[in-house]
Amino acid sequence: MNQDIAAILLSEEEIAKKVAQIGAQISQDYTGKDLLIVVILKGSVIFAADLLRKITIPVNIDFIAVSSYGTGVKTSGVVKIIKDLNCSIEHKHVLIIEDILDSGKTLHHLTELLKTRNPESVQVCTLLNKPDRREEEVDVLYSGFDIPDEFVVGYGLDYAENYRNLPYIGILKREVYEK
């Protein structure tokens, strides 16, 4: 698996430090508020698990699965809800946890959808941000790292459901996904 990685973009240590900083900020910003963390499956699970352990205030957690990529490397532009939330978000502060903000289409669609369900607020927290790829603007309250326009895997991010378990974020060799 490591032979498919062209370079390590972010190490385990860099990620852990940033996750701790974001967790501390969320804890401070949402003290005394009814906070619901909405984790986008599957890629955000590892980031969310580590982040939740750094948040020191009470939170509720739910999961949503959306798809706009399938097994490809570029978004199709069509966002599908594969698994919806199990709980009501009415009158709650919703914080969406995302692994990577790329074109913005998926997060834009999701935030607009959740806003129709009468939450107190809807905000976004993403570990990775690719500003060069943005096609749809998304307000992001918490962002870990701005990264270049490279295809990255690891720490939950995948290519065709592989590489999620890498403890770092690496740049995938082009020959792997340009077959």
Active-site annotation, residues: 102
Position 86 confidence tier, pLDDT thresholds 50, 70, 90 = very high
Residue range 19-33: average pLDDT? 98
Residue range 92-110: average pLDDT? 95
Q: Per-residue pLDDT for 144 more than 70?
A: yes
Looking at per-residue pLDDT, the higher value among 74 and 49 belongs to 49
Residue range 130-144: average pLDDT? 94
Q: Per-residue pLDDT for 28 more than 80?
A: yes
> What is the rounded distance in angstroms from the CA atom of residue 130 to the CA atom of residue 146?
6
Domains of the chain: 13-149 (3.40.50.2020)
Looking at every residue in the chain, the average pLDDT score rounds to 93
Residue range 124-139: average pLDDT? 94
151, 133 Cβ separation under 8 angstroms: no
Q: Per-residue pLDDT for 69 more than 90?
A: no
- Write the pLDDT tens digit of every residue in 34-61: 999 999 999 999 999 999 999 999 999 9
Looking at per-residue pLDDT, the higher value among 178 and 24 belongs to 24
Position 2 confidence tier, pLDDT thresholds 50, 70, 90 = confident
